[in-house]
Amino acid sequence: MLKRFALFTMMLLLFLSASQSVWAFSDIKNDPNEAKIAELQKMGILSGSGKNDVFQPKGKLTYAAGITMIVKGLGLNIDNIRFIKEPKVTDSFPKMKDDAWYANTFIIASLNGLDIPRDTDPSALMTREQFAHHLMKGILRQGDFAFIDLYVVMKDEADVEQTYMDSIQKLLILKIAQLDKEQKFSPKTAVTRSDAAGWLHGAIQFVKNTPPVPPIEEPVPFPLYDLQLSSKAVNSDISEVTVSAQAPNPGYGLRISSISFEGDQAIIHVEPIYPDKDKFYAQVITNVKAVTYIASGFKPVLGEVGASVGGSTGIIGGNGTSSSSPAPDMAVGQ
């Protein structure tokens, strides 16, 4: 039994060893990006060419192959887009063919903002600056990332197309791409398949390990204007307080959100009531108001608009709601 188990284990190891040798590219040994290329191959992002499953790391990269690497490596897609008609690659790139193997890739790339020129020839060789630019556009599609305020000096920066400079700078800052020993980027040189794979690997790792900056929520502007506060005595103990404002249309309203008390002041905080999104309103300036009641010993003061703090809500109007009435003969723009 032990002999059979040992024999089975040996055969399994031989099989795995043979499988790995078949799986790995046969021409990347000692390449500077050997490990990165091998990992991308295992991830299913890179595939070989030719009968011997070679990668040709020193070979040049066509636009079709380069964009395919970026789209596949960064997982770009158009799954969340609904089309009225089926998109065609020739809609955006007249030099391409709708039935070509790269057609869907360029459609995805275009709709994900990779900034590919309309007159791009898919068989043209891609330069280092072009691949860097499209790769960075793909990275930025994954989220809003923070970059340090740094400028990397290149001895050949005069050769860089200014459209691509920002993307190149970001890749250098992130150390995804590097300058050569002479501190040159060689922007107009055709990018090698090895360098493209190395940069793509770095981009994938950056996106994977770097959380995007959360979006800043812009405050919603207060839609009402010309707020006025007035009060009158109901009796010796209670005062009626009315807050009025101008609104863009009759769909808006006004309500008391809270009342806070500081010393002898009753601070009245108000907030808008927004129109029903499913209804249409004539754009007529409208007077809106809200009413509440406070003890007569307090002086009513209008609080910061749109703000609500802890406190009493008082009594809002006679029916518990705000009221509005159209301002006579006052249309928008008059």
3-state secondary structure 57-120: CCCECEHHHHHHHHHHHCCCCCCCCCCCCCCCHHHHCCCCCCCCCCHHHHHHHHHCCCCCCCCC
In the numeric block, the tokens 């280092």 are attached to: 128
Mean pLDDT in residue range 9-20:
46
**Confidence band for 100, pLDDT divided at 50, 70 and 90:** very high
Same domain, 202 and 260: no
> Domain ends where: 209, 241, 275?
209
Q: What is the pLDDT of residues 228-262, one digit of tens each?
A: 999 999 999 999 999 999 999 999 999 999 999 99
In the predicted structure, residue 321 carries a pLDDT above the cut 90: no
The dihedrals phi and psi of 37, each to the nearest 5 degrees, come to -65, -45
Q: Is the pTM of this model over 0.75?
A: no
Same domain, 205 and 241: no
Rounded Cα–Cα distance for residues 88 and 66 (Å): 20
Whether residue 163 lies inside any domain: the answer is yes
Same domain, 273 and 247: yes
Indicate the range of 143-147, 172-176, 211-215, 226-230 predicted with least confidence. Answer: 211-215
Rounded Cα–Cα distance for residues 194 and 179 (Å): 15
Task: Please tell me the predicted confidence (pLDDT) of residue 59.
Answer: 95
In the predicted structure, residue 286 carries a pLDDT above the cut 80: yes
CB count in 10 Å sphere of residue 38: 21
Contact assessment for residue 288 and residue 323, using Cβ atoms and an 8 Å cutoff: yes
Which of 62, 58, 43 minimizes the C-alpha distance to 106? Answer: 62
Same domain, 248 and 107: no
Same domain, 239 and 199: no
Task: Please tell me the predicted confidence (pLDDT) of residue 327.
Answer: 38
Mean pLDDT, rounded, of the chain:
86
Whether residue 260 lies inside any domain: the answer is yes
Q: Is the C-alpha dihedral spanning 293, 295, 259, 221 positive or negative?
A: positive
Whether residue 141 lies inside any domain: the answer is yes
Amino acid letter, 263: G
Rounded Cα–Cα distance for residues 200 and 138 (Å): 10
Same domain, 229 and 202: no
Contact assessment for residue 72 and residue 135, using Cβ atoms and an 8 Å cutoff: no
Most confident of 17-26, 44-53, 176-185, 281-290: 176-185
Domain that holds residue 86: 30-209
Rounded Cα–Cα distance for residues 67 and 145 (Å): 22
**Confidence band for 71, pLDDT divided at 50, 70 and 90:** very high
Same domain, 204 and 238: no
Same domain, 117 and 203: yes
268 SS3 class: strand
**Confidence band for 277, pLDDT divided at 50, 70 and 90:** confident
Same domain, 38 and 100: yes
Same domain, 204 and 253: no
Whether residue 22 lies inside any domain: the answer is no
Contact assessment for residue 118 and residue 106, using Cβ atoms and an 8 Å cutoff: no
Mean pLDDT in residue range 270-276:
93
Same domain, 52 and 154: yes
> Domain ends where: 154, 182, 209?
209
Whether residue 21 lies inside any domain: the answer is no
Contact assessment for residue 203 and residue 72, using Cβ atoms and an 8 Å cutoff: no
* Domains of the chain: total: 2
Q: What is the pLDDT of residues 119-147, one digit of tens each?
A: 999 999 999 999 999 999 999 999 999 99
Whether residue 14 lies inside any domain: the answer is no
The string of DSSP codes covering 231-263 is EEESSSSEEEEEEEEEESSTT-EEEEEEEEEET
Task: Please tell me the predicted confidence (pLDDT) of residue 334.
Answer: 27
**Confidence band for 280, pLDDT divided at 50, 70 and 90:** confident
Same domain, 159 and 44: yes
DSSP3 helix / strand / coil % (the chain, rounded to 5): 30, 20, 50
> Domain ends where: 185, 209, 233?
209
Whether residue 280 lies inside any domain: the answer is yes
Whether residue 19 lies inside any domain: the answer is no
In the predicted structure, residue 7 carries a pLDDT above the cut 90: no
